[in-house]
Structure 1
Amino acid sequence: MIRVGFRWLERGSCRHPQAATIKGGSLCAVDFPAMVGVIAHPSRGNLLFDTGYDPAFLDATHPFPERLYRWTTPVEVGAGEEWQAWLSRHSIARDSLAGLIVSHFHGDHVAGAARLAGLPLYCARAGLSALRSGPRLARVRQGLLPALVPQAMDAHARFFEDAAQRALPSAFAPFTSGRDILGDGSLLAVELPGHCPGHWGLAFINEDDCPILLAGDAVWSGRSIAENRPPPRLTTALLGNTPLYRATLEQLHRASCNGSDVAILPSHCARSAAAFNAGDAG
């Protein structure tokens, strides 16, 4: 696989009772960062994996029934998370951005999508279809805010399902294949079903030869992977498919134990992010 540069950066956060994200967890509210992957491709430029939170989330959840989303998921978007401030703080040139890769279309993953309008949008057809269809209240209940992804972006969508299938290196076992979204073998989208329709992760190897699997919301914490401990059924049934979610978690657990030191990074795990950014890749 072609090696790519990679940074795992926070952009905003929300609060949930821990018990909603892992079976047997505390009822106390916990801060969950929204992580963004900045992928530096050697010839394409920078691609973002998800966008984290953005002030646009607050605008989209101002009316009712969208306001229910904000009430049930209190969000913190500081001044440093505003788009230009965030780019500047992390030395990301706006004109270096070459595309957006979306794990799924929940509001905390696409809140800043409009900032990349006109660029290629790499996503699942099933996820975009869910965003664009169904009653308004039902989409809010499913964590979908269509206003965050301007309709014009659909014309720039390049679907995971249409990309060529390619074998994954053994470091990612038991995951065996992914979809070659750029056509050069550098970034392979891996379906991680269960959390919601059209939920995918991303597998690649960084410039330090570390195999990395961005897991999106297939789990909320590294602890869940290590202990093979899912959220309560109520949580997984509300958003997606519990049997599929638990099967995906089982695969992630097996990957974490395969001896390859693959770095599996959930999108909302502060501990996993801190360990990875401190150089503890496994």
Structure 2
Amino acid sequence: MRRCRVHILRAGACSHPEVMTRRDGSLKPVVFPALAALILHPEEGAILFDTGYDPAFFAATRTWPEVLYRWATPVDLPFGQAVVDQLPRFGVKPEDVTTVVVSHFHGDHVAGLHRFPNARVFCARAGLERVRQGGRFGRVRQGILAGLVPKHVDTRAAFFEDRPQVALGPDLSPFETGADLLGDGSLLAVHLPGHCPGHWGLVVREADDRTRFLIADAAWSSGQVRDDMPPPRLTTALLGDTGPYRSTLNALHRLWTRNPELVLTPSHCGEVQTDTPRGDG
């Protein structure tokens, strides 16, 4: 497996009551960062896992019913915190990004996708199909802002479902197989069902030999994984499918219990150490 350098970037944040993300939570609003990963591959160059928030999110939520998304989860994006604005600190220009891996098509994960028009897009066919189904209100209710998905994304898309499946090995049990995105074992996409159609995570072996599992929204926090504490049924039924979500969370809990050295990285966890400067908000 090829080793990569991984930088976790905070690209804005939203807030909503904790109880919406874990059923034993409080009604007090909690800040949830929107995390993306810059993956520096020794041969492929700069790769992104998701894009977090971007000013395009605010443009996409000006109209009805899309504005409901912004009202339900108020967003804060300090100046300079969009992923595209952070890349120069790592010696990366937007045009250097060769690939964007999309965990799923919720607005807080793809708002910056339009910034990388030449990048190949790895995603789930099931997720992209969902973007084009139903009416605007139904899509917004499930966290999808179709206007954030580039119109001609199909010409650049490569689907997880079509990539070669490889064994993950005992260190990642009970997860058994992953899609080998680049053919060298460096990026292994893993199906994490339940949160929404076409929801996948990504396993990366880092330069220091740690294994990082980017689990997207399979949990909103590391604490949820440790405690095996799912959101209330209201949340999981609204966005996806409660049964598969709870099964995925339980599998992650068992994985963490067996292999606590594994770096599990939820996309909205405040515990995750980021490479975004403190001065950026």
Normalising TM by the smaller chain, what interval? over 0.9
**Alpha carbons of structure 1 residues 84 and 157: separation in structure 2 relative to 1, 3 Å:** closer
Q: Is the aligned partner of 1:116 residue 2:116? A: yes
Aligned to 1:248: 248
> Does the 8 Å contact 1:192/1:218 carry over to 2?
yes
Aligned to 2:197: 197
Aligned to 1:238: 238
Deviations 1:133-163 (A, max 9, x none): 2111100111111111111112110000000
**TM-score w.r.t. length of structure 1:** 0.94
CA–CA separation in structure 1 for the residues paired with 2:188 and 2:267 = 17
CA–CA separation in structure 2 for the residues paired with 1:230 and 1:276 = 28
1:127-206 matches, within 5 Å, as 127-206=127-206
Give the drift of 1:90: 4.6
Aligned to 2:106: 106
1:1-282 matches, within 5 Å, as 1-82=1-82, 84-259=84-259, 261-271=261-271, 273-274=272-273
CA–CA separation in structure 1 for the residues paired with 2:88 and 2:252 = 34
CA–CA separation in structure 1 for the residues paired with 2:209 and 2:139 = 40
- Which range is displaced more, 186-195 or 260-269? 260-269
Runs of 5+ in structure 2 lacking a partner? 277-281
> Does the 8 Å contact 1:171/1:260 carry over to 2?
no
Give the drift of 1:275: 8.7
Runs of 5+ in structure 1 lacking a partner? 278-282
**Alpha carbons of structure 1 residues 98 and 136: separation in structure 2 relative to 1, 3 Å:** same
Aligned to 2:279: none
Matched residues, number: 276
> Does the 8 Å contact 1:60/1:147 carry over to 2?
yes
**Alpha carbons of structure 1 residues 77 and 201: separation in structure 2 relative to 1, 3 Å:** same
> Does the 8 Å contact 2:225/2:253 carry over to 1?
yes
Greater relative CO (CA pairs within 8 A, separation 6+): 2
Amino acid at match of 1:274: Q
Give the drift of 1:89: 4.2
CA–CA separation in structure 2 for the residues paired with 1:276 and 1:136 = 35
Q: Secondary structure at the match of 1:79?
A: coil
Give the drift of 1:116: 1.1
CA–CA separation in structure 2 for the residues paired with 1:211 and 1:274 = 15
% same residue: 49
**Alpha carbons of structure 1 residues 60 and 35: separation in structure 2 relative to 1, 3 Å:** same
> Does the 8 Å contact 1:171/1:211 carry over to 2?
no
Q: Secondary structure at the match of 2:152?
A: helix
CA RMSD of aligned residues (A): 1.5
Give the drift of 1:10: 0.4
Deviations 1:157-214 (A, max 9, x none): 0000000000113221111110011112110100000000000000121111101110
**Alpha carbons of structure 1 residues 264 and 64: separation in structure 2 relative to 1, 3 Å:** same
Q: Secondary structure at the match of 1:114?
A: helix
**Alpha carbons of structure 1 residues 54 and 161: separation in structure 2 relative to 1, 3 Å:** same
CA–CA separation in structure 2 for the residues paired with 1:166 and 1:209 = 19
> Does the 8 Å contact 2:173/2:255 carry over to 1?
yes
**TM-score w.r.t. length of structure 2:** 0.95
Deviations 1:232-270 (A, max 9, x none): 111101100000000000100011011361111000001
CA–CA separation in structure 2 for the residues paired with 1:104 and 1:166 = 21
Q: Secondary structure at the match of 1:270?
A: coil
Q: Secondary structure at the match of 2:64?
A: coil
Amino acid at match of 2:193: P
